[in-house]
Amino acid sequence: MQQLTTRSWRSWRKLKAVLDPLPPRARNDYATHVPVLIGLASLRRIERVLEFGCGHYSTKTFLNRAAFPDLKELHSVENDPGWAKQIKTGARAKLHLTTGPISDTVSSFNLETFDLVLVDDSKTAAERAATIRALSVFHPANPWFLIHDYEVDEYQRASNAFKHRFTFKAYNPQTGFVSNSEEHGLKAIDKQIKANKTQLEPDDVDGWLRVFRK
């Protein structure tokens, strides 16, 4: 298919915004990927996780044994020292603090050894898009990738090199799933999140555990 020009892409996005508008932004917009994380852990044995950008919600969820019972190692990459100090980790977690762009750290990891990679880094869209592109260059086959704030055009375009892409749209911000190996359980997770989003806040870990552990 012919690649979209910047102008045609913007026109398409404007049309899409009218035909498929985003839901209202979630009250806790930092946590809208949490239900997806819990859902993915019900599909696959996830032992090693790499997250680009620490978070009170993602890091805490990964280290929650009820949510990720198989987790053996969590590697968290952060370039904001002040923010990193606020994140509580544990024996299974290792924090990698860098002074440069997070995208520059991608090549220091063997991506094939990870089951799940979360991309929720940086203070600008351009920097996070650079991280996504840096990951795609290696064409990793084993890991699943989850991208927070996936309604952002730059992130969608940066992930075009991945073979498979899926967007969880129940909450705004949205969460994107990309990989180079197809996963067939994503629509079922999306259906569960949409069915329960009016009763559960995205950061209600116990509530989402009840949904996905039935």
Kindly list the domain boundaries of the chain, sorted by start residue: 32-44+98-212
In the chain, % of residues over pLDDT 90 = 79
Task: Tell me the C-alpha distance between 44 and 204, whole Å.
Answer: 21
Instruction: Look at residue 8 in the predicted model and tell me its pLDDT.
Output: 54
Say if residues 61 and 37 touch (Cβ distance below 8 Å).
yes
Instruction: Look at residue 107 in the predicted model and tell me its pLDDT.
Output: 97
Residue 1 has pLDDT above 50, yes or no: no
Task: Tell me the C-alpha distance between 27 and 163, whole Å.
Answer: 33
Task: Tell me the C-alpha distance between 116 and 40, whole Å.
Answer: 9
Instruction: Look at residue 176 in the predicted model and tell me its pLDDT.
Output: 98
Residue 62 exposed, middle or buried by CB count within 10 Å (0-12, 13-18, 19+): buried
What's the rounded mean pLDDT across residues 152-169?
97
Quick one: pLDDT band at residue 12, thresholds 50, 70, 90?
very low
Q: DSSP code of 88?
A: -
> Exposure pattern of 150-172 as b/e (b: 16+ CB <10 Å)?
bbbebbbebbeebeeebebbbbe
State the pTM of this model: 0.89
What's the rounded mean pLDDT across residues 61-87?
94
Task: Tell me the C-alpha distance between 156 and 25, whole Å.
Answer: 19
Q: Which residue has the higher pLDDT, 121 or 2?
A: 121
Residue 3 has pLDDT above 80, yes or no: no
Instruction: Look at residue 79 in the predicted model and tell me its pLDDT.
Output: 95
